[in-house]
Structure 1
């Protein structure tokens, strides 16, 4: 018997809800910061300076912390090198691949809200693949919500693509889909990990991997410059604090607390928030079709996360050993 994935548990639910709200705000702020930074410098320059200082801070902090807990860390994984390589792959997909596509799409003229909502297709893909890859089950109500969310994505994308104020080529709307697939792949790669969760350690590997990737891209492309505009560095600080520590860090924390489908369905809440940011800060158009699509996205989030009795799992087979707080696991069939 399988237990539905992604339902918020009663225990610790208020904390999970609060973290979910903070996650949505922080994640949406990344798209706004991306557009702000790209106004003053090349996208490759923005990405390099977003990750380099972050890696420079995280590496020594993590090394010191590991020395203090050497005994425990030494027994945390039966294959530390293999797990480290897995985290490198996760970082390359969830940061390097995802951020590069998002920044590229926004640079081509795709609005921040539409970029966020195209990324919102991710829950549908995750739910479709969760069964065969993780042995987990999405309920009928969750599937309904995910399909409603897809309809909202298509409506908003169409509104943005046909707006004369956007100016983005039609093919540019495929780029955020590529970024979404990178994040989906990273999610499943992380869920198959066997070691206990180590958020700071993993975040350090992810950011260091992306710092190396983006620095190499900037150097090879002649974009490894030091901008002299204060607005660029303000935008860079914004990107480091809110979307990286807040959005990206909370993504993996919530993955452990509430499950893969719930976390990814929260992506449907990012577009309305991002659209509001874009309209206020950048004057991006908001049409009736845009509002309708966003309303469908909100309805989808409610359908996926609405509390209901969960079927008990007679035999439980966790994807990996939990670190502390309990989280949903998939039972064997």
Structure 2
């Protein structure tokens, strides 16, 4: 089951970069993100209302507190709104899907370095070897693409870095919480937060009206089904079940998978160098998994 979840997570999370590429040619980032989350929120709120109607007593007992909701708003703002806006904007500026995924692939090293002091989850030396090997692999996959300078400006490559840091921050905020919130509740709060933010952003930029292009609505359906319900939902599920190191090891696979996917779907460059990087990244995952008997945990000081 863990293997199936991991494969599904990698494919669904990688689909987000592809979906962003699909929609970037027909609408600005704010428009695509607004219409991605508006119908999604309607679905989630309707599902929540149906669950509450079936079991009002259970719904009251499981109702999150205001601090819980505030924390989930912050987590959603960082892990979903901030992360997605930077990814979409970078791709809109011409950064390829593979290069965007590469920059996002730095996340495991940042999270691994911070896991000890912030979460008391200490990464074993062999896992550090695997993490560094994974970074090498994703760099090999997309370094040639980044060197071509296809983006509108050099600083466009810094934008996904901000998104990566935003996702890392959200991950640690969620992990440090001692009050668990049901996944259905957290998903609804995160998506509602994103819907409000992106609708306001689209209104301020005058980009609320969606295009009639079929490619736009195909991208919206793709992103709702695969990226949000699939990738985003599985991210938090695996994080809760297996921890930061496990989920961040899988993040190393996003860049090579996205590079291969982008080559097949959009004709983005993919040669021997990319295939070599894919092999190195797969080896890194094996190294980390074999060196994992579970991160060393130290109790929080009371």
For normalisation by structure 2, the TM-score amounts to 0.92
Deviations 1:154-189 (A, max 9, x none): 44453122226x345322111111111111011011
Q: Distance in 1 between matches of 2:274 and 2:159?
A: 20
**Conserved? CA contact 1:159–1:287, under 8 Å:** no
- For the pair 1:26 / 2:21, whether they are aligned, the reply is no
Contact 1:161 1:168 (8 Å CA) reproduced: no
How many residues get paired? Answer: 300
Q: Distance in 2 between matches of 1:29 and 1:48?
A: 18
Is 1:123–1:146's contact at 8 Å kept on the other side of the alignment? yes
Contact 2:99/2:143, CA 8 A, preserved across alignment: no
Change (3 A) 1:203 1:211: same
| CA–CA separation in structure 2 for the residues paired with 1:190 and 1:167 | 34
Equivalence for 1:188: 172
Q: How does 1:11-50 map to 2 (within 5 A)?
A: 15-50=1-36
Pair 1:233-2:217 in alignment: yes
The answer to whether the 8 A contact 2:28-2:92 is kept is no
Partner of 1:65: 51
Q: Paired residue for 2:299?
A: 332
1:193–1:68 CA distance, 2 compared to 1 (3 A): farther
The CA distance in 2 between the partners of 1:96 and 1:137, in whole Å, is 29
Query: How big is the shift at 1:331?
Result: 3.7
CA RMSD across the alignment: 2.1
1:148 & 1:329 partners in 2: Cα distance?
A: 21
Q: Which residue of 2 aligns with 1:83?
A: 68
For the 8 Å contact 2:13–2:231, the answer to whether it is kept is yes
Deviations, residues 214-237 of structure 1 (Å, cap 9, x unaligned): 000001001000311122111110
- Which residue pairs with 1:270 in the alignment? 254
Query: Structure 2 vs 1, CA of residues 70 and 307 (structure 1 numbering), >3 Å: closer, same or farther?
Result: farther
Equivalent residues of 2:137, 2:280 under 8 A apart: yes
Instruction: Tell me which protein shows more helix as a share of its residues.
Output: 2
Shift in Å, 1:72: 4.2
Q: Is the 8 A contact 2:98 2:142 kept in 1?
A: no
Q: Structure 1 residues 138 and 74 mapped into 2: Cα distance closer, same or farther (>3 Å)?
A: farther
Change (3 A) 1:332 1:194: closer
Between stretches 255-264 and 205-214, larger displacement belongs to 255-264
Is the alpha carbon distance of 1:183 and 1:141 closer, same or farther for their aligned partners in structure 2, counting shifts above 3 Å? Answer: same
> Corresponding residue for 2:147?
162
Q: Post-superposition shift, 1:281?
A: 1.3
Deviation at 1:70, TM superposition (A): 4.5
Match of 1:298 among 278, 282, 292: 282
Once the two structures are superposed, the pairs formed by residues 110-259 of structure 1 within 5 Å of their partners are 110-163=95-148, 166-259=150-243
2 CA distance for matches of 1:66 and 1:192? 28
For the residue of structure 2 that corresponds to 1:195, the secondary structure is coil
Residue 284 of structure 1 corresponds to: 268
Quote how far apart the aligned CAs of 1:297 are.
Answer: 2.3
Classify 1:226/1:44 alpha carbon distance in 2 versus 1 (closer, same or farther; 3 Å): same
Cα shift at 1:73: 4.8
